[in-house]
Structure 1
Amino acid sequence: MFTRIEDFIAEWEKEAELTDRVLSALTDMSLRQAVISGRRTLGDLAWHLVTSVHYMSTLGLEFEGAELGASTPESAEQIASEYRRINAELLRAMKAQWSDDRLGDTIAIMGEEYRNGDSLQYSVMHQAHHRGQMTVLMRQAGLLPPDIYGPTYEGWVEKGMTPLA
Structure 2
Amino acid sequence: MMIEALLREFEQEVKGTRMLLQAVPEKDIDYKPSPISWTMGELAQHIATIYHWYVGTLSKDVYDLAADRLERGKPGDIEATLDFFERNVEKAREALNATTEDSLEDMWTMKVGDRTVLGPSPRGIVARSFLYNHLYHHRGEMIVYLRATGNRVPGLYGPTYEEISGQ
Structure-1-length-normalised TM-score: 0.81
**Can you list the C-alpha shifts for 1:16-56, whole angstroms capped at 9, x where unaligned?**
11111100111222211111234211111110111122223
| TM-superposed deviation, 1:147 | 0.5
The CA deviation at 1:93 is 2.6
**Correspondence for 1:28:** 26
1:119 aligns with 2:126: yes
Give CA-to-partner distance per residue, 1:70-103, whole Å, 9 cap, x none: 46432212212221221111102321x3222111
Distance 2:109 2:158 in 1: 37
CA contact (8 A) 1:49 1:130 kept: yes
Matches within 5 A, 1:71-110: 72-95=74-97, 97-109=98-110, 110=117
Structure 1 residues not aligned, in runs of 5+: 160-165
Q: 2:71 & 2:89 partners in 1: Cα distance?
A: 19
Q: Distance in 2 between matches of 1:116 and 1:72?
A: 31
Are the aligned partners of 2:72 and 2:80 in contact in 1 as well (CA < 8 Å)? no
Q: 1:50 to 1:4 in 2, by over 3 A?
A: same
What is the aligned partner in structure 2 of residue 163 from structure 1? none
The aligned counterpart of 1:158 is 166
Long gaps (5+) in structure 2: 61-67, 111-116
**Larger strand proportion of the pair:** 2
User: For the residues of structure 2 that align with 1:55 and 1:132, how far apart are their CA atoms?
Assistant: 19
Amino acid at match of 2:41: G
Q: In 1, Cα distance between the equivalents of 2:118 and 2:158? A: 38
Count residues in correspondence. Answer: 153
TM-score by length of 2: 0.80
Identity rate, percent: 26
* Higher RCO (Cα < 8 Å, 6 or more apart): 1
Aligned Cα root-mean-square deviation (Å): 2.3
- The answer on whether the counterparts of 2:58 and 2:99 sit within 8 Å (CA) in structure 1 is no
Amino acid at match of 2:94: R
